[in-house]
Homo-oligomer: A and B are copies of this chain.
Amino acid sequence: VSPDVRKSVWQNLSDEAKKESLFLLRFDEDDAAGLMTPRYLAIRSSITVSQALQFVRKGLQEVETVYYIYVLDQVQRLLGVVSLRDLLAAQDTAVIESIMEKDVISVLDKTDQEEVAKILETHDFLALPVVDSFNRMLGIVTFDDVIDVIREEQTEDVYKMGAMEGSADKYLETGILKLVKKRIPWLIILLILGTVSTNIVHHYGNLVLGAAFLFIFMPIITQTGGNSGNQSSTLMIRGLATGQIEFRDIGRVMLKEVIVGILLGLGTGIVILLRSYFLPPGADFMQALTVGVSLVFVVLFSTLAGALAPLLIHRLGLDPTVMSGPLMATVIDVCGLTIYFEIAKLLLHL
């Protein structure tokens, strides 16, 4: 936007709109103050219900919602709230003081927008008042803004699970360099971590050269380990995000994942044993057994590691969404291949 356009837009705003914009410009975008509107209904606690109703009917053109009326004192401090519903249900002669809800649930101007969304959602409110640290009313956040926050937050979480950091920009409007900047950091971090696997494979080099069939099944081992680990960490990340799982559930989670991991390992192990014994490129029975048994242990390990990692990362106060998925892939590659080669040594007496 050119400065000229900006100037002409500004000049065409009403005085009221100018005042509102200047007020809102003082606040950050990502917290309650960034979402709020200063257009709400405020009354004094000493007036009657019928006076309040008259006031509502007069003021309703200028406000965002008429469904909550906030009760403020002379210095704008928030004393209470009355819903329009309660106002209509009350006697005309009742005083607001006697019908208002005094335990008002409000958020601070500095409260993070995701926190605001959660509070509004928990209480099924249409709007939440925003106050400063002196409990002075600044504005309201309404439910429609909160739905937008939930959607945006959802996009950012999905991006993080795909190993990308950054804001929920629209793909088609994002420039090439911004896309690369969003994507390359994690690709390179994961690449460098992943090179640990080259050292593992190199360590077992002679073993593999002595039993060439082993390297044929390497991609299967790492892939299936990665998939099962990914399932566990997805369940944990989502559980942590929605508050259904907490760190103190770690015992129950591990117990569950041990049993699930054994069953998943047996299922996939039997399938790969049959597949590699009966179908090309073909393996003899001991080779097929080696791959099958390895998969049982690799899947069990991956399932446990995939569940444990997000819980620990979360416990450390970090965000498991971006760190778990791809980090897991690396850990599982390294440990999965070690398990595989050790089981081969054991079963094939190499």
Q: A residues near B, CB below 8 A? A: 53, 56-57, 60-61, 66-67, 84-85, 88-89, 121, 124, 126, 143-144, 146-147, 150-151, 154-155, 157-159, 161-164, 170-172, 176, 179-180, 183-184, 186-188, 190-192, 194-195, 197-199, 201-202, 205, 208-209, 212, 215-220, 222-224, 226-228, 230-231, 233-239, 242, 244-245, 249, 252-253, 256, 259-260, 263-264, 267-268, 271-272, 275-276, 279-281, 299, 326, 329-330, 333, 337
Do the beta carbons of A187 and B326 come within 8 Å of each other?
no
Q: Could you list 15 A-B pairs, sorted by A, with CB under 8 Å?
A: A61-B89, A84-B84, A143-B143, A158-B237, A161-B162, A171-B236, A172-B244, A172-B249, A179-B256, A184-B263, A187-B228, A197-B223, A198-B217, A209-B212, A215-B218
For the A-B complex with A190-B227, A198-B217 known, give 9 more contacts whose Cβ atoms are closer than 8 Å. Answer: A66-B84, A159-B238, A171-B244, A172-B239, A176-B260, A180-B263, A187-B299, A191-B227, A223-B329
Task: Please give, as numbers and ranges, the residues of chain B lying within 8 Å of A264 by CB-CB distance.
Answer: 180, 183-184, 187
A329 to chain B: closest residue by CB: B223
Question: Chain B residues near A212 (CB, 8 Å)?
Answer: 205, 208-209
Q: Would you give the shortest CB distance from A57 to chain B, in whole angstroms?
A: 5
State the CA gap A56–B172 with chains docked (Å).
Answer: 48
Cα of A313 to Cα of B192 in the assembled complex, Å: 32
Interfacial chain B residues near A249, Cβ < 8 Å: 172
When distances are taken between beta carbons in the complex, the residues of chain B under 8 Å from A192 are: 271, 275
Q: Are A190 and B231 in contact (CB under 8 A)?
A: no
Q: What are the 3 closest A-B residue pairs judged by CB atoms, nearest first?
A: A162-B234, A202-B281, A124-B144
- Is the Cβ of B171 less than 8 Å from the Cβ of A239? yes
Q: Would you call A231 and B164 a contact (CB within 8 A)? A: yes
Please state if A230 and B198 are interface contacts (CB–CB under 8 Å). no
The secondary structure that dominates the A interface is helix
Q: Which of A187, A198, A223 has the most CB of B within 10 A?
A: A198
Taking a contact as CB atoms under 8 Å apart, the answer to whether A222 and B224 are in contact is: no
Nearest-Cβ distance from residue A178 to partner chain B, whole angstroms: 10
Report the nearest B residue to A63, measured CB to CB.
B85
Residue of B nearest to A337 (CB): B219
Q: How far is B345's CA from A279's CA once the two chains are assembled, in angstroms?
A: 27
CB atoms of A201 and B219 under 8 A apart:
yes
A234 contacts B158, C-beta separation under 8 Å: yes
**Alpha-carbon distance A279/B162, docked complex (angstroms):** 29
Residues of B within 8 Å of A157, CB to CB, are 154, 158
B residues in contact with A162, CB < 8 Å? 161, 230-231, 233-235
> A65 to chain B: closest CB distance in Å?
8
Hey, which chain B residues are within 8 Å of A215, CB to CB? 201, 208, 215, 218
